Structure 1
Amino acid sequence: GGANPRISVSRELELKTTLRELVIYIFFLTDLCILTFGMVSTEMYYLNKVMSQLFLEPPYSEDSHSSFRNIESRADFWRFAEGPLLDGLYWDKGYNNTTMLTLQDNNSHIYYENLLLGVAQIRQLKVHNNTCSIYPHFHSFFTDCYSEYRYRAEDRSDFGLKNDSEWKYTSASSLSPWYWGYMGLYSSGGYIFTLPQSKEKSLEKLVFLRQNNWLTRGTRIVFIDFSTYNANINLFCIVRLVVEFPATGGALTSSHTYSVKLLRYVTYYDYFLASCEIAFCLFIITFIIQEAKKMIKLKKKYFESAWNCLDVLLLVVSILAIIFNIYRTVEVSLLMEELLSDPTEYPDFYFLAFWQVLYNELIAVNVFFAWIKIFKYVSFNKTMTQLSSTLSRCAKDILGFAIMFFIVFFAYAQLGYLVFGLQVEEFSSFPNCIFTQFRIVLGDFNFQAIEDANRILGPIYFITFVFFVFFVLLNMFLAIINDTYSEVKADFQLISSEELQIRDLFRQ
């Protein structure tokens, strides 16, 4: 049917343009979702799970003190390395528990399915002696003093037997990422050794290093790195086990297991995903040209629209994702043959996994922003317009009130950190306090721990925080939004409801 004569031509043209953009954008979003969800699979989770169970959980038949999670000292570390670690890395038993004479093709197959690539590597970082200040009255009690790890305090001198790589410092390659642990940021160099290909020789080497004190009082962190490949599902699993030995004594353990698809294009479905990636690049080039034309036309006014800012953000993240993907693909093709060339060496797949995970995270952020952008096209709907008008109209009030809210919130966070920080894990650092308070607002809290830490200030802190933040301040946010929504709804009732909407175009 013909358009209603009361409807302005410009309004109809604007809606037709929006509808055309929406259709193109739906194709773009579908393409993005296919290539993103094609990268991940449930097998990745299960591969991570079985690897974690094998190396982190204590075996039923053995002493739990030999498990990775229960490492509390250097002696526990050696117990784990000589026991569960070697048992997990070298599968020299068949399905029926009979001992194999030799490992298949001199290679270990973890769970009989995951080929251990090359050998495992163990690396430690140390600090110099006398790297901390001792109060004069205690000089007679302490002849040695090892600080927490800092790059400047790192010990790079030869030690022990001084004859092999495990006793000599090895500088990091410039591309290796540093490691952010519980107690600091650790460099990529260190004292490194690799385990031999057989379980017996590996055990001999570990016993030899233990007896010759490879771990010293200055040791601050130990990394155990190895990689596996499962041909059944075309997945690499890169495992890093980390034990930090802080200056306080004791040990802190953490683990990182990355199941990644480094060989991206193998099956027909993989090549279909490759075509989606090419289409994604073409979409991005088209959008860049469109936004560039808009910028030239509108100049500074371009950035006054929140949707335009979102478009720019989406394009920037997309371009970064494309660059990361190209870099990762090139590095895999260049390094794969080199990494697998010598089975007696440690192949550093951690570097490739790092970039793959970074790309995965970037494309995930991209998908999030891409879905949010849909609101731009549905804003011609009356209900959606009311909601967006409400949020834009009350933005200044909410921003002003948010400042007041966070002043109170951070005041309580500092109080919690200073009063409970020494006893309660949830308050042990300032960022932890902030997250803990958000959890209290959501009803997830451990009141007993707060009360045990301070029987007087604990209940006072908890009751006043819940009252002021939960009952007063949060409800003020809702009051501001409700009040603005009522105003917007009243304004919309005065506007003629005969304006053309997208559904009217479909009817035409």
Structure 2
Amino acid sequence: MAGRLRRIWQEAMEEELQYEGEDEESVRVGKWVRDVCIAFGEREEHGKECEQVLGELLLEPELDSQLFMNEVIAGELMKTSFLYNRYGQQNSSYGVLFGNSLIGNASLRQVRVKSDACGSVHGALDNDGILAGTECYPSWTLGTEDAVYSKSKAQKPLQPKSFHAFTSAASTGSPSYVGSFGTYPGGGFVASFAVQDTSRILQEVAGAQWVDPKTRALFFEMFMYSANDDLFLFSQVCFEFPAGGFVLPSSTVYTYDINRYKASSMKSNLEYFFFFLSLLYILKEFAAFRRQNIWRYLHFDWPTLELTLVLLVIISAGLRVYHSYMLSKITSSSAMTVLSVQQAVRGAAVASANLDAAFGVIAFLLWTKSLRYIMLTRSTRRLMTAIYFNVRKMLSFAMIATLLIYACSLTAFMLFGANLDQFQSINRSGSTIIQSIFGNKIFAVLVHETGSGGFLYYFGTIAAIRVFVYSILVAIGIDSYRKAVQGEQTAKKPLLELIRGELARRHREYMT
């Protein structure tokens, strides 16, 4: 590594003269581009290609769509020598990409908007031969998806290719995407990059002017499997093209975990044991239903909760069976298409997530069901009533605490606002103080920037506010408990309880 860095430094010194006559910013960016590309390029020619691309991106003020398509989106996908093999008996291929297995092909997918005659457009579109100046293209939220690729009034005749055919969301398998200018569907016009034909397809896409003013969103999508993490990944990079003419990029990575319990047979056995106990529970509930018929569930009471639990257990069992079926499809040796593999992965992951959610609801309902056997005693009800009345008093204490925090925020803003980003406004000062009360400390930063004086002030402020807040909570708890005990001592027992107590006392006397 030291020899490599020394070679980089020597090359930088030898090429110093090529930046003469340029402005300082260009020289700085050019040196940075060269050093980064040489350091991370596996071979010298890759470093030169990287330097050329990044230099054009950073130093050229205007970047045309041709360079954007060929260099930015394609990137290393066009230049990398992929190691691929066949999946099953189909023509889909896996590629090795940064340690992950690429399932199927990477693809470009665009969503287009229909155009209506509503006035003239910019004259540059006429000069490029794309439009004739009588159409406009509204924002995606105001437009309608175009399912037929067309270049209205274009000077160049359209030569249909595979990427000019519309593909539905069911065929692509892509989820809808929530962007800054609308929610884009999973379908559209797709250019699929077979590993061995990537360069040719990119040239065809660029030559056909595939991306034009009708394009509202362009997606670069890859479906991968990470063996290290045992996760399936769907990477979706979106480039939005609003009617204003600029490009807004964003990205989302979906992770699909299809193995519920990795390398843990005990957890799987516990899940099966849970379903076995649930089966006994369902049989018991069915016996109660046979005795009472439908009248058992016609009023909202504990039987309604029992029925809800039974339905949730049945749904959970169905999700577990569906998850196992999807998992068997993925791991089977029979030939499957790439789309069926992706759909099976998504189905297994969604079933697993829904199963976890169902288990969470079941656990909550079982906890609620335990109240049927524990019940709420009169002592508990008195304690809850006392807490309720004391909580109403917290409004006045909260007002005092708010004024105290505001005063401390104003002081911290005046003292530290010029030095620390956390105190550049009164609102940010208040947010920082509240976070510090509950554990987010910035004492080390204060000592470094403001010295011991700032640290002592801030420490004293946080300590005072914490003592005030915690003392209020402790006081409310003590007062609530005291009122509950007092109510227990002064409360009159019901007649039935007095009779039962007297009978129990006489029974003990008789037995002794």
Taking structure 1 as the reference length, what is the TM-score of the superposition?
0.50
| 2:71 pairs with 1:82 | yes
Match of 1:49 in 2: none
State the one-letter code of the partner of 2:315: L
**Structure having the higher Rg:** 2
Deviation per residue, 1:163-191 (Å, 9 max, x gap): 22211212343895751413334333211
Match of 1:181 among 161, 171, 178: 178
| 2:275 pairs with 1:281 | yes
Cα distance change, pair 209–293 in 1 and its aligned pair in 2 (3 A): same
On the 8 A contact 1:228/1:238 being kept in 2, the answer is yes
Cα distance change, pair 300–277 in 1 and its aligned pair in 2 (3 A): closer
In the aligned structure 2, how far is the partner of 1:165 from the partner of 1:262?
33
Match of 1:120 in 2: 106
In the aligned structure 2, how far is the partner of 1:205 from the partner of 1:115?
22
Deviation per residue, 1:410-433 (Å, 9 max, x gap): xxxxxxxxxxxxxxxxxxxxxxxx
Note the C-alpha offset of 1:217. Answer: 1.4
On the 8 A contact 1:264/1:270 being kept in 2, the answer is no
Aligned residue pair count: 343
| 2:314 pairs with 1:327 | no
In the aligned structure 2, how far is the partner of 1:319 from the partner of 1:66?
57
Deviation per residue, 1:244-300 (Å, 9 max, x gap): 3334443443333233344679x8x46555434432332333344445566775835
Match of 1:171 in 2: 168
Note the C-alpha offset of 1:226. Answer: 1.9
On the 8 A contact 2:173/2:186 being kept in 1, the answer is yes
Note the C-alpha offset of 1:194. Answer: 0.6
In the aligned structure 2, how far is the partner of 1:78 from the partner of 1:391?
69
Note the C-alpha offset of 1:126. Answer: 0.8
On the 8 A contact 1:124/1:191 being kept in 2, the answer is yes
Cα distance change, pair 394–243 in 1 and its aligned pair in 2 (3 A): farther
Match of 2:135 among 132, 136, 144: 144
Match of 1:239 in 2: 235
Match of 1:365 in 2: 357
On the 8 A contact 2:323/2:352 being kept in 1, the answer is no
In the aligned structure 2, how far is the partner of 1:107 from the partner of 1:481?
63
Match of 1:197 in 2: 195
Give percent identity, aligned residues only: 18
Note the C-alpha offset of 1:146. Answer: 2.0
Taking structure 2 as the reference length, what is the TM-score of the superposition?
0.50
In the aligned structure 2, how far is the partner of 1:487 from the partner of 1:117?
66
In the aligned structure 1, how far is the partner of 2:297 from the partner of 2:317?
28
Match of 1:110 in 2: 97
Gapped regions of structure 1 (runs ≥ 5): 1-59, 68-72, 93-101, 135-140, 399-438, 445-477, 500-508
On the 8 A contact 2:233/2:255 being kept in 1, the answer is yes
Match of 1:351 in 2: 343
Cα distance change, pair 107–335 in 1 and its aligned pair in 2 (3 A): closer
Match of 2:40 in 1: none
On the 8 A contact 1:91/1:109 being kept in 2, the answer is no
On the 8 A contact 2:278/2:313 being kept in 1, the answer is yes
Cα distance change, pair 214–494 in 1 and its aligned pair in 2 (3 A): farther
**Which residues in structure 2 correspond to 1:153-168 (within 5 Å)?**
153-159=144-150, 161-168=158-165
Match of 2:398 in 1: none
Gapped regions of structure 2 (runs ≥ 5): 1-49, 86-92, 121-131, 152-157, 392-430, 437-473, 502-512
In the aligned structure 2, how far is the partner of 1:191 from the partner of 1:487?
71
**Which residues in structure 2 correspond to 1:223-234 (within 5 Å)?**
223-232=219-228, 234=230
Match of 1:303 in 2: 300
Note the C-alpha offset of 1:320. Answer: 3.5
Match of 1:20 in 2: none
In the aligned structure 1, how far is the partner of 2:341 from the partner of 2:142?
25
**Which residues in structure 2 correspond to 1:86-101 (within 5 Å)?**
86-87=75-76, 91-92=80-81
Cα distance change, pair 359–480 in 1 and its aligned pair in 2 (3 A): farther
Note the C-alpha offset of 1:151. Answer: 10
